[in-house]
Amino acid sequence: MFNFDELIRNYIKREEHPKKIGRYYPSEIGGCLRKTWFSYKHPKEPEADLLKIFEIGNIVHEFVVDVLKSEKNPEVELLSAEEPFSIKMKDFIISGRIDDLILVKSSNKKVLVEVKSISDINTVKDAKPQHKMQLQLYMFATKIRNGTILYIDKKNLRSKVFTIPYDESAALYALERFSLLHKHLIEDTPPPPEGKMDPKKSWMCQYCEYKDECDKIDGVKINGKNKKN
């Protein structure tokens, strides 16, 4: 009668808006800088399965918004959701949307909430460094120094919340990384392959759509074989 998979595919298909050098996003600065660089230099259309994963993230966030603004939860008030923000640097702009801002009534404190949907909450022992970096930027930009990362399991809605203390040096470090990214993009030189160099980021290479291009630059396979002489 009808093919629902196809309807979903049509529904979540994104209009192409290639990223522009000079406009950057907080979610992309904590990962491998070279991968982010490739995403500007050689954009690839995300695969349908990846778009579905993004969509699940959106659905989970809509659910979180409903929970936060529900009258059944008077201890918190949702002040804003998906609020745009930007940081203007000398020759580029960092912009994005902040998931949620809530007021915690017991302490009368405004708290930023960054929502991350994940496959298995049991694997989350601490907030991930790239998510902390993103949140530090939000705290820096909004001057709201209370930040949390909420991880929520896509299959059972179990959650964990981590409070992240504001650290100005971490926010400034993130800004430095944007400057470095911008410099490499302007000069058309690839940044170091952080996924290959930093054991804490090596998992990123496994899911990287630029593996082949990256190996070509270094002449090095990710597992260390086939090194260029």
* CA–CA distance, 139 with 160 (Å, rounded to integer): 20
Residue pair 156/177 in contact by the 8 Å Cβ criterion: no
Piece of the chain touching ligand SF4 by CB under 6 A; list 11-19, 43-51, 75-83, 205-213: 205-213
From the list 149, 163, 156, the residue with the least C-alpha distance to 122 is: 156
Give me the least distance between CB of 35 and ligand SF4, in Å please: 4
Other CB atoms within a 10 A radius of the CB of residue 103 amount to 14
Residue range at the interface with ligand SF4 (CB under 6 A); choices 40-48, 49-57, 94-102, 191-199: 191-199
Choices 45-53, 78-86, 90-98, 192-200 (CB under 6 A): range interacting with ligand SF4: 192-200
Residue 204 touching ligand SF4 (CB under 6 A): yes
The correct pick among 131, 182, 184, 196 for binding ligand SF4 (CB under 6 A) is: 196
Determine, following the binding rule CB under 6 A, whether residue 35 of this chain makes contact with ligand SF4: yes
* Token pair for 172: 């400034």
Q: CB count, 10 Å around CB of 85?
A: 14
Tell which one of 40, 138, 178, 210 touches ligand SF4 (CB under 6 A).
210
Q: Do 113 and 101 meet the contact criterion of CB atoms below 8 Å apart?
A: yes
Of 110 and 211, which CB lies nearer to ligand SF4 in the complex structure? Answer: 211
Question: What are the structure tokens assigned to 138, written together?
Answer: 């939000």
From the list 111, 145, 58, the residue with the least C-alpha distance to 66 is 58
Please tell me whether residue 184 binds ligand SF4 under the rule CB under 6 A.
no
Binding residues vs ligand SF4 (CB under 6 A): 32, 34-35, 38, 193, 195-196, 204-205, 208, 210-211, 214
